[in-house]
C-alpha cells in the first residue's frame, strides 16, 4: 500500500464506513488534527479519540465520496505529505441530503507492515474569495466596515471634543454662563442692534468670608447656585461671569426699560433668597448691584462697564444687599 492509498483507506473508513474502532488503529501516538470548525483542534491522539467518541452518536448517517484526488510528496524515507480534495454526498434517514466537500493535507508514516496517520488538516474553500483575491471579499468588506465604524467613532469623539472646546472657549466652566470675552462681544453686537440698554454689575457681599468659613468648594457651590438664579430671573438677557464672584447682565431694547430691568433685579433677589436655603447656612448671603444705562451712561461697552462698576461700589458703600444707578440715583427700596 502506498501513502495515498492509505489516505484513501482512512477517508473510506471514516466517512463511508463510519468505523471509528478501525480508525483508532490507524492513528499515530503523536497525532495532531486541525478541522474546519473553530473548535476542531486536537493536539494529541487522546484528544482526537475523545472527539470521535463524542461525534459518533450525534447522527445516524454517513457520506458517499463522489469524487476525490490525491497528490503525494515524500518528506523523508518513511514520511509522506498527501494533499487532496473530496466531494461528498450525505446519506442518512433525514429527508434532506446535501453535498459537501473539503480540501486536506495529511502527513503519514510508514511503520512495519502498516501505516499511521501523523497529522491531518482539513479546510473548506471560501466561496466569497474570488479568483485573484489574496483574501475573501467578505473579510475585506468586514474589515472595511469595521474600519469605517472605528473612524466614525473617532470622528464623533473629535467632534464632541471640538464642540466642548468651543463651548468652554465661550462659557465659564463653573457656572455655564458666558465668560468675559464672549459676553463682551455679544453685548457689543446687541448695542449695534438696539438703541437702548441696561447693564448690571453684581457681586457677592463678603464672598472671601464665605470661602474662609466654608472652604473654596463650598464657594464654588454658591457661585453655581447664584448662576442658576440669574438664568431663571433675567430671562432674555445676556448674562455672564466676568471673574471671581462678579457677574454682569445686559438687556437691550427699542425703548428705555429701566423699571422693567429693576423689577427683574428684585425678582432675582427674591429667587436667590429662596434658592440659597439649599446651602443650609444660618446667615443669608447678600449681593450688591450697580446699573448703567445705554447710551445715557456710556455709548460703548467699555464706558458702560466702567460706570456700572462705579455704581456697584456706590451700592456697596451704602450697605449690604443694595442697588445703585450710575448717575448716583438709588431705587426707593433696597434689594
DSSP 174-207: TT-SB-HHHHHHHHHHHHHH-SEEEEEEEEETTH
Q: Is residue 265 part of a domain?
A: yes
Same domain membership, residue 97 and residue 8: yes
Q: Is the peptide bond before 8 cis (omega within 30 degrees of 0)?
A: no
Same domain membership, residue 188 and residue 112: no
Same domain membership, residue 188 and residue 313: yes
- Rounded CA-CA distance 217/212 in Å is 11
**Could you read off the pLDDT of 286-317 as tens digits, one per residue?**
999 999 999 999 999 999 999 999 999 999 88
Q: Is residue 141 part of a domain?
A: no
Same domain membership, residue 319 and residue 191: yes
Same domain membership, residue 83 and residue 193: no
- Position 139 pLDDT exceeds 70: no
Grid cell 464706558 is found at: 303
DSSP, collapsed to helix, strand or coil, labels residue 4 as helix
Same domain membership, residue 205 and residue 72: no
Domain tally, the chain: 2
Query: Nearest-CA neighbor of 231 among 175, 298, 314?
Result: 175
Q: Is residue 247 part of a domain?
A: yes
Q: Which residues contact residue 271 at a Cβ distance below 8 angstroms, ignoring those fewer than 6 apart?
A: 229, 232, 233
Same domain membership, residue 198 and residue 320: yes
Helices 301-317 and 180-193 pack at an angle, to 10 degrees, of 110
User: For the ranges 38-52, 118-132, 267-281, 307-321, which has the lowest average pLDDT?
Assistant: 118-132
User: For the ranges 53-62, 72-81, 216-225, 236-245, which has the lowest average pLDDT?
Assistant: 53-62
**CATH number of 184's domain:** 3.30.70.270
Q: What is the pTM of this model?
A: 0.54
Same domain membership, residue 305 and residue 199: yes
What's the confidence (pLDDT) of residue 260?
A: 87
Amino acid at each position: 500500500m502506498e501513502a495515498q492509498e492509505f489516505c484513501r483507506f482512512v477517508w473510506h473508513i471514516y466517512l463511508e464506513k463510519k468505523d471509528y474502532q478501525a480508525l483508532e488503529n490507524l492513528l499515530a501516538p503523536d497525532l495532531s488534527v486541525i478541522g474546519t470548525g473553530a473548535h476542531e483542534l486536537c493536539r494529541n491522539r487522546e484528544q482526537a479519540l475523545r472527539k470521535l467518541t463524542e461525534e459518533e452518536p450525534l447522527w445516524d448517517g454517513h457520506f458517499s465520496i463522489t469524487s476525490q484526488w490525491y497528490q503525494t510528496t515524500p518528506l523523508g524515507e518513511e514520511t509522506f505529505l498527501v494533499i487532496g480534495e473530496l466531494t461528498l454526498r450525505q446519506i442518512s434517514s433525514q429527508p434532506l441530503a446535501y453535498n459537501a466537500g473539503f480540501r486536506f493535507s495529511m502527513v503519514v508514516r510508514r511503520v512495519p507492515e502498516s501505516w499511521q496517520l501523523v497529522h491531518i488538516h482539513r479546510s473548506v474553500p471560501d466561496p466569497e474569495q474570488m479568483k485573484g483575491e489574496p483574501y475573501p471579499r467578505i473579510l475585506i468588506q468586514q474589515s472595511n466596515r469595521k474600519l469605517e465604524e472605528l473612524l466614525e467613532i473617532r470622528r464623533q469623539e473629535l467632534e464632541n471634543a471640538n464642540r466642548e472646546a468651543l463651548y468652554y472657549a465661550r462659557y465659564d466652566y463653573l457656572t455655564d454662563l458666558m465668560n468675559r470675552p464672549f459676553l463682551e462681544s455679544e453685548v457689543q453686537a446687541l448695542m449695534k442692534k438696539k438703541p437702548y440698554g441696561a447693564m448690571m454689575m453684581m457681586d457677592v457681599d463678603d464672598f472671601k468670608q464665605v470661602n474662609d468659613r466654608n472652604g473654596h468648594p463650598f464657594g464654588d457651590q454658591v457661585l453655581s447656585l447664584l448662576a442658576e438664579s440669574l438664568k431663571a430671573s433675567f430671562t432674555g438677557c445676556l448674562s455672564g461671569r466676568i471673574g471671581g464672584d462678579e457677574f454682569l447682565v445686559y438687556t437691550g431694547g427699542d425703548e428705555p426699560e429701566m423699571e422693567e430691568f429693576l423689577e427683574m433685579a428684585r425678582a432675582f433677589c427674591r429667587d436667590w433668597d429662596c434658592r440659597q436655603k439649599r446651602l443650609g447656612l444660618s446667615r443669608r448671603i447678600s449681593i450688591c448691584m450697580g446699573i448703567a444705562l445705554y447710551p445715557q451712561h456710556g455709548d460703548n461697552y467699555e464706558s458702560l462697564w466702567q460706570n456700572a462698576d462705579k455704581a456697584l461700589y456706590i451700592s456697596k458703600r451704602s450697605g449690604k444687599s443694595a442697588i445703585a444707578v450710575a448717575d448716583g440715583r438709588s431705587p426707593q427700596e433696597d434689594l
